[in-house]
Chain A
Amino acid sequence: MVHYAFMIPLFPLLSFLLHLLFRKRVRSIAPILGCICTLVPLVLSVGVLIARFQGTTYTKEIEWLSLGKTAITMGVVITPLNAMMLVIVSLVSFLVHVYSKEYMKDSERLGTYYSYLGLFTFAMLGLVMSVNVVQLYIFWELVGVGSFLLIGFHYTSLAARAAAKKAFIMTRIGDVGLLIGIILLYWKTGSFSFAAIFQSVASGGISQEMITVTALLIFVGAIGKSGQLPLHTWLPDAMEGPTPVSALIHAATMVAAGVYLVAIMYPLFLASSVAMTTVAVIGGITAIFAASIGLVQDDLKRVLAYSTVSQLGYMMLALGSGGYDAGVFHLMTHAFFKALLFLAAGSVIHAVHTQNIREMGGLWNKLKFTGPLFVVGALSLSGFPLFAGFFSKDAIFAAVYHDGRYVLFFIALLTAFLTSLYMFRLVFLVFFGPAAEKIYRENSIILLAPMVVLGILAVVAGYIGSSWFGAPLQRFLHDGTTSLPLEAHGPVWLPYVAILISLAGIGVAYVRYGRRKDFHHENTSSSPVTMLLKNKYYVDEVYGVIFVKGAAFIGTIFVFVERYIIEGMVGTLASTVQWLAKCGSAFQNGQVQRYGAVAITGLALMLLLFIVLTGGYLQ
């Protein structure tokens, strides 16, 4: 089975080409073609995963480029980590293809849409299977191109165009770090292949400073792709893309690529404590920063976007704290429950035709399937006991605690509280409370089926990484390698604290947002019998206000930080360049004598500089 692994990305590529070539003619069968071209890779991926489970790491490569003495290969490698990623990517991609059949059915450019999806899936699968860093980089950039096209799919909207461009250029800033990092690594270790690089790192063939520099440069790439601070602003804007695209790109695949990058380069990061600390700190700050902003957003998808940023921060925090298993585990569970949440959000939006949660409410009874599925996702994300997110988050807490950076540990716990708070704020505002008068119909089975699959996974996926069952995922990830740190076990009280925090967040959300209707009722009926109850409620309300307002206040501050400091710096840089461009254009005045004068002056300056620097005739 493993020998057919190279075919996995070819089917989505075929899908891309076919849809591109015949996008006018095959409109009616476009979704089916797309689904088939992602179902085959899914089957193959599962086969490859099983084969890897039974066998060993498989590598196949051919020489691709020789630049002087530099020979670069292309190929396929199947390690436990990327076998797992293959299944995640192809599964989510397949489900999104199915979901899109219904969701995008009114789109005029259905064929184009499916061709972009194919391109993206191809690039992402290719990235995951890369045998060396150059191949990874190439697919890494192609993923960016696919994402650019998909975000800007609704090109008639100005916001979508701006978001697509922003996403592309901002992630590109990160990519530049990655590119320089891999070329420097090449010069210091003499190879682009993962194994040779790690070998060189282990045997001391590369200096400590260089390890730190290259690890940090590679991390810059991860920051850009995974929307970490300060390059995160493109991700919330990218919500202008169609919702299934958000589920695919901005939940399960592309944004997780940054985390995946750190994970596959893990031996390099482990060799530098500076790099590890940087990863952990950036991850931790991003986690709490984005979570608090998520609390004050009113756009359903933007809340989920900030939540994604925050969860990716979690994964980085875990990786930076030596919790390789925890980070990868959370990457997997997050892919499922966040994709579920996005698809459920899409289903809500599809039904009510707005993204503003202030205009929603009481949908629980109207969307009989979407509602529970969304709640499953929310519970999983909030780390509610026995849901997938609970296990992976618990593993992260354990890793961070074990690592001994208690400030980061505290941040992680606080973020967990904020996470369940903002998620259940969404749940209560969207599905409960006063309902609009309109009648909404539940969406069709094609929209629901993918959500059901993800819903099941959002519950059960946690068990494969749970120590209750002997942690099969962790054992699998460590198969065939000894360089990875073993999983840390936290103190016994940790899961209980985690549960408590998760419930506290849900409880506060309930108090603050879940009883809006009751609140109105009680206000109107001022019967003395209910005084006691009312008082009690008042106490709750005070707590609610303190927690929620406090958190929201921090959130608002962070919104300002984001808007005025981070965006401001970017803006200043951009306007400086624009100003320079303006000066440059103005200098080009169309007078040929000026052009000649510039050349002669340039020559004179060079000569002068040379004489001044070397002494020359002035001596």
Chain B
Amino acid sequence: MNWQAIEWGAMLPELIVLGTSLLLILLDLFLRKTVSRRPLGFLALLGVAGAFSALVLQLHEPSIQLFHDMYRVDGFSKTFKMLLLIGTFLVLCLAYDAKLGREENVRGEFYYLILTALVGAMFMASSADMITLFIGLELLSVSSYIMAGLKKHDAQSTEAAFKYVVSGGIATAITLFGMSYLFGLSGETNLYSMAKALQETALPDQSYMLVFAFFITFTGLAFKIASVPFHMWAPDVYEGAMVPVTAFLSVVSKTAGFIFIIRFFVLVFMMSKGVNSDSLLQQVQPYIIWLSGITMLVGSIIALRQSNVKRLFAYSSIAQAGFILAAFSVFTPALFETMWFYLFAYVLMNIGAFAVIQEVTTRNNDTGMTSFEGLGKQSPWLALAMTIFLLSLAGIPATVGFIGKFGILIALLGYGGLHYVLAGILIAATLLSYVYYFNLIVQMYFRTGEVKEKRRSQKGLLIVTIVCAAATVIFGIVPNIALHFFYEQFSISTFLQL
């Protein structure tokens, strides 16, 4: 391999993040224990910002492939990496303000683990090969396991990490098992060659195996996006982990999971033959629809009974995964834009909500819903921001969440058939979500809580809430800015082309 021939510039964003994380590891290792690790957070933020700028510079360059077509920098990877970088930047701001208490010594570790997880997620976005996809997935997962258990003196955090590792192990095993079927059937690891191979040699018996492979890998990946049937870990882990970690898991990690799902399933299964049908993906479509519907309902119904705000958001994020899966169940070009836009909306509104949750729960040292009582009076701006995020999550117009949901509904109702049922379920789940989101709003405005001491202003938190709230409203009013960007960057032909 000629090292000079490789266009390293195409990987610049990943390299910057990776380099920053290595730098942080070294600094954390060699700096004296007494030195505060807080400034390292700045470095991490700088790294992510640098990667983001590098990505922006790449936007107008043509798509290329590296390392024997294992690694692809195309419109799909660039647009979705953008979401990952924005999400991680915001999470890092939250992490900067996180109160670690006894665990203050792990702060440095915390920062670089977020970065390594991000590198894994970005790898997934650019992978065109099962091996790199899997490596990216594991890099993301392993970093996340540690992050979940970062507070090692806190029993709940440790328990969360343990459950996360065990569930994650099962998920990885299942995913790998499914992938091995695919490798066995096609003899390839590259997604594009695999798609070609599977298309050409379609023996009837193979189709069954292929469908099996689909179900198995799908179940494994359901873990990453926290959808049925692999969703049950989420409430426990979300509750136990620190708020920035929860935000990371529910947003960045979930986005990465969806990136994997889109790239992998659309490429490999769209063209391959199913049993008695032309496209395998068409054949399993009803299953995706039902899984999406059940995911929405499970998330929304159980959320009704939650009194812990982090658990509530865990179930809400399960329901949100169901919404995004609904967008995935529509096999038209609209799939990409609706999923991208919904994830974009989700990054903004969910991280914003977690920012407020972090502030409120630290202030009260309590993660119950009641900690939001009287927030409207004590911190009107914080309450206003939270209201915007909740309205957006509920899909009320003039917020970005509405546009996202509206796009999904349009796509569903344009497809017809079973999708009408799914649209009905989506609506029902949305109605249920009004109940639990508005419960929080009622807590904030319509109840008076005891007056708590205000903490000194939190810079990271301030940035996150302002940026997220403003973006939630702005992109709700002029959504075309984001959509135009996506159309400009993404084209389905470069996505499908070998």
B337 A138 Cβ-Cβ under 8 A: no
- Given A169-B434, A606-B287, CB of A596 within 8 Å of CB of B166: yes
B215 A594 Cβ-Cβ under 8 A: no
Q: Contacting B396 at CB < 8 Å: which of A67, A145, A584, A596? A: A145
- Given A67-B334, A596-B167, A599-B230, CB of A616 within 8 Å of CB of B208: yes
Name A139's closest neighbour in chain B (CB-CB): B397
B301 A155 Cβ-Cβ under 8 A: no
Main SS of the interface on chain B?
A: helix
- Given A67-B337, A602-B228, CB of A590 within 8 Å of CB of B236: yes
Residues of B within 8 Å of A169, CB to CB, are: 431, 434-435, 438
- Whole-angstrom distance from the CB of B57 to the nearest CB of chain A? 27
A584 B167 Cβ-Cβ under 8 A: no
Q: Contacting A65 at CB < 8 Å: which of B287, B414, B434, B479? A: B479
Interface check B480, CB cutoff 8 A: yes
Q: Give CA–CA (A590, B409) in the complex, Å.
A: 35
- Given A65-B403, A180-B413, A187-B414, CB of A603 within 8 Å of CB of B232: no
Main SS of the interface on chain A?
A: helix
B-facing mask of A17-41, CB < 8 A → 1, else 0? 0001000000000000000000000
Within 8 A of B (CB), among A566-619: 577-578, 580-582, 584-585, 588, 590, 592, 594-596, 598-603, 606-607, 609-610, 614, 616-617
Binds A, one of B8-16, B68-76, B445-453: B445-453
Residues of B within 8 Å of A161, CB to CB, are: 442, 446
Name A173's closest neighbour in chain B (CB-CB): B431
A-facing mask of B164-177, CB < 8 A → 1, else 0? 00110011001000
Within 8 A of A (CB), among B231-274: 232-233, 235-236
Residues of A within 8 Å of B304, CB to CB, are: 577-578, 581
B215 A607 Cβ-Cβ under 8 A: yes
Interface check B135, CB cutoff 8 A: no
Interface check B456, CB cutoff 8 A: no
Q: Contacting B413 at CB < 8 Å: which of A64, A184, A595, A614? A: A184
- Whole-angstrom distance from the CB of A526 to the nearest CB of chain B? 57
- Given A598-B232, A599-B222, CB of A585 within 8 Å of CB of B305: yes
Interface check A527, CB cutoff 8 A: no
Chain A contributes a number of interface residues (CB within 8 A of B) equal to 59
A67 B219 Cβ-Cβ under 8 A: no
Q: Contacting B334 at CB < 8 Å: which of A68, A138, A152, A617? A: A68
- Whole-angstrom distance from the CB of A603 to the nearest CB of chain B? 4
- Given A65-B480, A180-B423, A599-B171, CB of A585 within 8 Å of CB of B212: no
Name B476's closest neighbour in chain A (CB-CB): A138
Residues of B within 8 Å of A51, CB to CB, are: none
Residues of A within 8 Å of B448, CB to CB, are: 156
Interface check A369, CB cutoff 8 A: no
Residues of B within 8 Å of A138, CB to CB, are: 397-398, 402
Q: Contacting A183 at CB < 8 Å: which of B301, B409, B430? A: B409
Within 8 A of A (CB), among B166-195: 166-167, 170-171, 174
Interface check A66, CB cutoff 8 A: yes
Name B167's closest neighbour in chain A (CB-CB): A595
Interface check B106, CB cutoff 8 A: no
Within 8 A of B (CB), among A168-190: 168-169, 172-173, 176, 179-180, 183-184, 186-187
Interface check B432, CB cutoff 8 A: yes
A592 B402 Cβ-Cβ under 8 A: no
Q: Contacting A599 at CB < 8 Å: which of B212, B229, B410, B438? A: B229
Residues of B within 8 Å of A179, CB to CB, are: 409, 427
Within 8 A of A (CB), among B398-426: 398, 402-403, 406-407, 409-410, 413-414, 423
Q: Top 5 A-B pairs ranked by shortest CB distance?
A: A602-B229, A155-B446, A138-B397, A584-B302, A595-B232
Sample of 6 A–B contacts (CB below 8 Å): A142-B398, A155-B447, A172-B434, A588-B235, A602-B228, A603-B229
Contacts A155-B446, A584-B305, A592-B233 aside, 15 further interface pairs with beta carbons under 8 A come to A67-B406, A67-B410, A145-B396, A180-B413, A183-B410, A187-B413, A578-B304, A582-B305, A592-B166, A595-B233, A599-B222, A602-B219, A603-B215, A603-B229, A610-B211
